[in-house]
Structure 1
Amino acid sequence: MRILQIGGGNFLRGFADWMIQKGNDAGVLDTGVVVLKVTPRPSRVPLRAAPFRVVLDGPDGPDVTRVDVIDEVVDAYADWDRCLAIARGDDLRLVVSNTTEAGIVDVPDDLSARPPETFPAKIAVLLHERWRHCGGDPARGLSFLPCELNEDNGRLLRSAVLRHAAALDPAFAAWTGAHCRFYDTIVDRIVPGGDAEEVRGERYAHWAIAGDPHIRDEFPLDRAGLPVEFLEDIGPYRVKKVRILNGSHTALAAVAPLLGCVTVNQAVGHPLAGEYLRRLLDTEVLPTLPPGAGPFAAATVERLASPALEHRLADIALNAIAKWQTRNLPVVRDRWAAGERAPLNVFALACLVLGYAGEPGDFPVRDDAEVVARIRDGVFPFDDARLAEETADHVRAIRAAGPEAALEKVIR
């Protein structure tokens, strides 16, 4: 069996590829991975079909695994014909992806382009090639495990792909809807960095997959003792995890660089940034969650503070506006609906707006050029008058007093 992996960043290498390697070693899988590079910009870590090490840090020292499951890497912008050939393959069964929250978008695209621009459009064209080649064989449908943190990520990807499929051929769209399976998932492991030869992460990991029983037979990693759960509904766990862990990451990556912090553990240990994080969780995030989420929040702060994880805030800043929308905006809206405020989450957005606008000049900005350009032209990234007004208030305060004094006022 072959798995098509959309994206070759540190997270997928230190999480999905590590699990696939463990599954192969345990004999529950016999699979290789084809990595598809789907962005035109150069990769920060050179992608190659070669073994690498996954080093998982823990209190009793590092755990090292040699991962050799990647047997091919293809750049969609350099060799689209090879991508189409892979899609036709008889041994292809699964697609795993992580294109960040900005990747799963349902927008018009040029389906004749080589390749199309968006991730769902690329998938639709690849599936169309597979459908055409196999003559619509029902057994040749694929299973999709999106690791993006969008809510209902599998259903969201399915909807976008089906819209493009309908534009290509109604019969193809019917085959995709009936025989391709898109599973909602939630993933959890902190993977702070790495290079072509080594990826470093934490020991903790969790992969929850919702949907029909077919995926458990096709991808039986739980039978290798791996932390994979197959559930009917991952919604409650997803909300807790994304708001507490990922929302904290996004907020810290926006605020802490303005206080001179470079890594997450530095930020947690910083007197002001650390207090900001704890107050964010205690006064804004936890009140939006069911009772019982407190221990997960406390454990998350402990994970973020680990000195073994040198997680650079600049690495978390990739597509930060889209991440804030997915991870932090729901907290703001839930607080507003309860008649409360969420100034600490909105303060993080204000820091992002200032950073994208070039104030200060060394703020880590890693986003689509169009998103950055619009903010620098004075266009607020969300169509929400109250959010725009509250963000502008924080922006004025930061400009007037500096980030440290402005944050201290919000916290106190």
Structure 2
Amino acid sequence: MEKLCYKTLADQGFDGYLLKDAPERVLQFGEGNFLRAFVDYFIDVMNEKAGFNGKVVLTQPIAPGLAPMINEQEGLYTLFLRGRENGEKVNRKRVISCVSRCLNPYEDYQALLDCAKNPDLRFLVSNTTEAGIAFDPACKADDAPPASFPGKLTAFLYERYKLGLPGFIILSCELIDHNGDELKKCVGQYIDLWGLEDGFRAWVEKENLFCSTLVDRIVTGYPRAEAAEICAELGYEDNILDTGEVFGFWVIEGPQSIKDELPFEKAGLPIIVVDDHTPYKQRKVRILNGAHTSMVLGAYLAGQDIVRNCMEDEVIHGFMNKAIYDEIIPTLDLPHDELTEFAAAVTERFNNPYIDHALLAISLNSTAKWKARVMPSVLEYVNRKGSLPKCLTFSFAAYVAFYHNGTEKGENCLVGKRGDNTYEIKDDQWVLDFYYDHKDDDAAAIAHAVIHNDKMWGGALAALDGFEAAVAAALERIQAVGMYEAMKECLA
């Protein structure tokens, strides 16, 4: 079978959209599955539908990486976006042709620096994982390349500055708060560390726009179990196949002038430019992530194993909907129609027939997740309504029950029981030690101990009038009638 490349497609009589030659207008730090299914997909659509006419040159943030495979395929790869949309099952295929090449700066650092000479280059994109935007004082200006991503970026910007060329619109996609601001801060630290001139500092400030962004798409990556069958159907070998969900949403914080250079709207893409991306991040964390965290532990103890099946259960789906529409949405300040539209999309995303999202996988580190994703909704609901949110309060009891079942120690985990089966409870060691120490507590005692653990909740839950009594009562009902029936009672 021939490998995917432009000739292979021509030989097959491929009649889809391809852009073989165009100026490199985007430098992308990161060549992994997410950016290729998200940013590069959007750029490819902009090329086709809005005349963006730009290629993306990728660079590996770490070694080793995918550069050899990407270059063997001339930057081409097949992307499948799969899931549900408007209630219908969809499976969309697109050959992505916006990538020109992939650089490995650990083998040829000069090739990366040479990109600074390109006057057409205008945009820098990055997704170097949550740990990627970090200042490493061990990096030196003459390292080839500097080990950290912000170090590489600073060196690249300095090369551009010395050439007297304009700066960039920099779009950070890492999953940290205020990612663009944090990246800009790191660049400033390297300017200080390396003793670079004030003129460069002024150029960075004046000529470059560091944008914080919010990205939202589940990318499932290379479909290892299906790859051989997919390639047989395609009629070519594609070693960098990529898959993701249909839903995608990108929020860019910056001036509206960005839209003059990136024609998202003309291409009909789900991308918005706003003055402040915080409300959209809050929406995602509270509704999407909050729905996961508030549902999955109870759902698992109620007998379910994957998210999709939960959407087919009237009680569990009903519990999630009540939590979202009656208890989470009323705590948010975006327009109501936007919030309900996003919530409806969440249900379709959870019901994706192509993703077996295991509840136990989501349960990892649920203590921190409940604090970040659910607790703010509980506190704001009480603040606005003057009463406790029934489902979200129950979700805390379900969290406690899930952990309190861990009566045996495993390897870096506690071992709980669901019927005749066991399951692993994974969290920070101090959390596991706490629950093991309280494994013999009754409902009232464990509710009190957990709620008054200030290391977990900072005292916020202990201060809520009636919360401890409600959680203890919920735990007693779970013990008396089982998780499923107790969840059902929340819907009454």
Residue 344 of structure 2: aligned partner: 299
Moved more, 227-236 or 354-363: 354-363
Q: Which one-letter code corresponds to 1:66 in the other structure? A: V
Residue 215 of structure 1 and its aligned partner are, at CA, apart by: 2.8
User: Residue 176 in 1 paired to residue 204 in 2?
Assistant: yes
1:343 matched to 2:366: no
Match in the other structure for 2:324:
281
- 2:5 equivalent in structure 1: none
Work out which of the residue numbers 42, 61, 68 in structure 2 matches 1:19. 42
The alignment status of 1:384 with 2:384, answered yes or no, reads: no
Structure 1 position 408, deviation (Å): 5.5
Matches within 5 A, 1:247-286: 247-252=290-295, 256-286=299-329
The one-character-per-residue Cα deviations of 1:23-68 (angstroms, maximum 9, x if unpaired) are 2334313112415345x8x99x999414332223452743211114
Deviation by residue 1:218-275 (Cα, 9 ceiling, x = unmatched): 4323333333333344444443344222332444555545555443322222355323
* Residue of structure 2 aligned with 1:330, choices 366, 376, 393: 376
SS in 2 for 1:245: helix
Q: Does 1:36 align with 2:60?
A: yes
2:151 partner letter: V
Alpha carbons 1:276, 1:344 under 8 Å: kept:
no
Q: CA deviation at 1:125?
A: 0.6
Pair 330,80 (structure 1): closer, same or farther in 2 beyond 3 Å = farther
**Structure 2 unaligned regions, length at least 5:** 1-23, 224-239, 407-411, 417-421, 435-452
> What is the distance in 2 between the residues matched to 1:221 and 1:309?
28
Are the counterparts in 2 of residues 264 and 304 from structure 1 also a CA contact under 8 Å?
no
Counting aligned pairs with the same residue, the percent is 26
Secondary structure of 2:351's aligned partner: coil
Secondary structure, counterpart of 2:330 in structure 1: helix
Q: CA deviation at 1:22?
A: 1.6
Structure 2 residue 187 is the aligned partner of structure 1 residue 187 = no
Residues 108-163 of structure 1, C-alpha deviations (whole Å, 9 max, x = no match): 6334289x9xxx99232112212443455564533222234555443344345434
CA contact (8 A) 1:142 1:181 kept: yes
SS state at 1:334 partner:
helix
Distance 1:110 1:316, change over 3 A: farther
For residues 483 and 219 of structure 2, what CA distance do their matches in structure 1 show? 31
**Partners of 1:3 and 1:315 in 2: CA distance:** 35
Q: Deviations over 1:303-361 (max 9, x none)?
A: 13535342524776788777656544432442354454442564576589789844447
Aligned to 2:15: none
Deviates most, 80-89 or 174-183? 80-89
Structure 1 residues 94 and 324, CA gap change in structure 2 (3 angstroms): farther
**1:348-377: CA deviation from partner (whole Å, max 9, x where unpaired):** 765897898444475596xxxxx8455456
Instruction: Name which of 251, 258, 266 aligns with 1:208.
Output: 251
One-letter identity of the residue aligned with 1:147: C
* Partner Cα separation in structure 1 for residue 482 and residue 189 of structure 2: 49
> Which residue in the other structure is 1:368 paired with?
none
In structure 1, list runs of 5 or more residues that go unmatched. 366-370
Give the corresponding residue for 1:52. 77
1:112 aligns with 2:139: yes
Q: How has the CA–CA distance of structure 1 residues 372 and 134 changed in structure 2, closer, same or farther, with 3 Å as cutoff?
A: same
Q: Which amino acid aligns with 1:334?
A: E
Aligned match for 1:405, one of 465, 473, 482: 482
SS of the equivalent of 2:266 reads: helix
CA distance in 1, matches of 2:371, 2:28: 25
What's the secondary structure of 1:266's corresponding residue?
A: helix
Alpha-carbon distance in 2 for matches of 1:281, 1:126: 42
- The alignment status of 1:308 with 2:353, answered yes or no, reads yes
TM-score, normalised to structure 2's length? 0.62
Aligned to 1:127: 153
State the Cα distance separating 1:286 from its structure 2 match.
1.5
Alignment-mate amino acid for residue 20 of structure 1: I
Contact preservation (8 Å) 1:11, 1:191:
yes
Q: If the length of structure 1 is used for normalisation, what is the TM-score?
A: 0.72
1:228 equivalent among 247, 263, 271: 271
Question: 1:179 is aligned with what amino acid?
Answer: E
Partners of 1:122 and 1:404 in 2: how far apart?
54
